Chain A
Amino acid sequence: MASYSTNDFRSGMKVMLDGDPCSIIENEFVKPGKGQAFNRVKLRNLKTARVLEKTFKSGDSLEAADVVDTDMQYLYSDGDFWYFMEPESFEQHQASEKAVGDALIWLSEQDMCVVTLYNGVPLSVTPPNHVELEIIETDPGLRGDTAQGGSKPAKLVTGAVVKVPLFLDQGEVIRVDTRTGEYQGRVSAK
């Protein structure tokens, strides 16, 4: 595998640190006037999602991590694994519950996701930024309250619970931002 020098570190670059794949968040060049140059680097451990801060000597290098983000279609789950397919090659990958992680509550079959492969094995799954899902459980809608604020919890078909305006009812389809878990609007027809 290739390696990257601190001078080439860019946000999003995947490197190996202490045996774990990490994604570089930020790379700042620091140099005391008469001292040696170094780089303060913020990285996210892709296995644990923890953010680390390390200081390297400028010019030091880290091994590149075999981490690739691939667009894949979510097929189904058998309860133990979640199955994804590369649309071009039809190649299928099985992801563990740990890899699917928080994406679990947003996934509907046939959604396009970003599956991050580490050494060819799914490491994490990023759901689409926006999903449209049906409400399966919520308090009855309050008609005539469309303009007022206020919200109530609603359980969606995938299991996620989001806060929705009071006027929404069971069976309606809503649009949600998966990055924030926030309600975006009502989808008139599915």
Chain B
Amino acid sequence: MTSQWQPGTSLPILRQRSRVFAELREFFQQRQVLEVDVPVLASATVTDHNIESIQIRSPMAAGYLQTSPEYFMKRLLAAGSGDIYSLGKAFRDGESGSRHNPEFTLLEWYRCGWDEHQLMGEVADLIATLLPDIAVRRVTYAEVFYQHLQLDPHLAELTTLQRLAVEMGSPAWADESRANCLDLLFSVAVEPKLDAGLVLVYDYPACQAALAKCAEDGQGRKVSRRFEAFLNRVELANGYCELTDAAEQAARFAEDQRLRLESGKAKVAADSRLLAAIQAGLPECAGVALGVDRLLMQMVGVDALDQVMPFSWSRC
């Protein structure tokens, strides 16, 4: 075990990785988006009940490794930074597998005055600079969900979703929440059947809004202004028309705590500095986070992160 000192990447892939970093920076340089390097270690972290932070117990710098640069970037936006991007490391506890690594490279950027549709366009532009001739398709969550499951994800009864989740997953889903049942059904029955190329799925269910604004869609259903990008059926990026209402933000943090408590997870204090920044005024903006390692995986044509990261966790 200890003798396995070699990296997971081949040298050509290591060079390609370096080239991709350079091309990403070039893309944003040309569009006058400012690179920012924000901390990965901080005293506060996300409250999201589905994301666990790695806790650091040093007496000098107790805190958490950041699961994304989002909170710091939003504080910069509130301070008037204008359009910014970050290309750096993010950490998530308990996430390990062929497409997950506890430490990974995340590209995150924010566009002031944009909505999620403009940002989806830019995601497509970015992918096209790295993968010319890529097919791009935009589709609503409801449309693609209905296509494969013949159900309206926004209006279907919870019991219907639970029954289907039990059928497609296991009995464990019998009393799961709407958001969890939708996630299971989407992962099992929709994601594997998405078109090849880049598929941008938008208007996510309102129960999965996270930090996105909510709105009504053309048919009067409540949806979140959130999108996800799938590259050859692999989840690649997650974006929002960002929530800028401080009271709504505080309410969502409180809801996170309730869900954490309900599922027996440790309480995580809400980031008061982020709330203060939003209170002071987060400009209207859209933001997206993109997994760079997964992007590389698709560019190289392999199906495990281990082959595109110099050292994935199994080698660390």
Instruction: Tally A residues with Cβ within 8 Å of B.
Output: 19
Residues of B within 8 Å of A33, CB to CB, are 228, 235, 238, 289
> Mask for B217-241, Cβ within 8 A of A = 1, else 0?
0000000000010000001001000
**CB of B184 within 8 A of chain A?**
yes
**CB of B280 within 8 A of chain A?**
no
Select one of B97, B168, B176, B187 contacting A32, CB under 8 A: B187
Contact at A36–B172, with CB atoms within 8 Å?
no
Residues of A within 8 Å of B238, CB to CB, are 33-34
**CB of B23 within 8 A of chain A?**
no
Closest to B96 in A: A29
Select one of B96, B173, B180 contacting A35, CB under 8 A: B180
**CB of B208 within 8 A of chain A?**
yes
Contact at A29–B169, with CB atoms within 8 Å?
no
Known: A32-B235, A36-B183. A55 touches B95 (CB 8 A): no
**Which residues of A, 46-80, contact B by the 8 Å Cβ criterion?**
54-58, 60
Select one of B94, B188, B228 contacting A55, CB under 8 A: B188
A34 to B212, CA, bound (A): 12
Known: A31-B100, A32-B187. A37 touches B172 (CB 8 A): no
Select one of A28, A35, A40, A54 contacting B50, CB under 8 A: A35
> Mask for A1-45, Cβ within 8 A of B = 1, else 0?
000000100000000000000000000111111111110100000
A58 to B170, CA, bound (A): 12
**CB of B179 within 8 A of chain A?**
yes
Residues of B within 8 Å of A37, CB to CB, are 50, 94-95
**CB of B48 within 8 A of chain A?**
yes
A7 to B96, CA, bound (A): 10
Residues of A within 8 Å of B235, CB to CB, are 32-33
**CB of B253 within 8 A of chain A?**
no
Contact at B208–A35, with CB atoms within 8 Å?
yes
Contact at B95–A29, with CB atoms within 8 Å?
yes
| B residues lining the A interface (CB < 8 Å) | 48, 50-51, 94-100, 168-170, 172-173, 176, 179-180, 183-184, 186-188, 208, 210, 228, 235, 238, 289
A-B contact pairs, 23 of them (CB 8 A): A28-B98, A30-B97, A30-B187, A31-B95, A32-B235, A33-B228, A33-B235, A33-B289, A34-B210, A35-B179, A35-B180, A36-B50, A36-B179, A36-B180, A36-B183, A37-B50, A37-B94, A38-B169, A38-B184, A54-B169, A55-B169, A57-B180, A58-B94
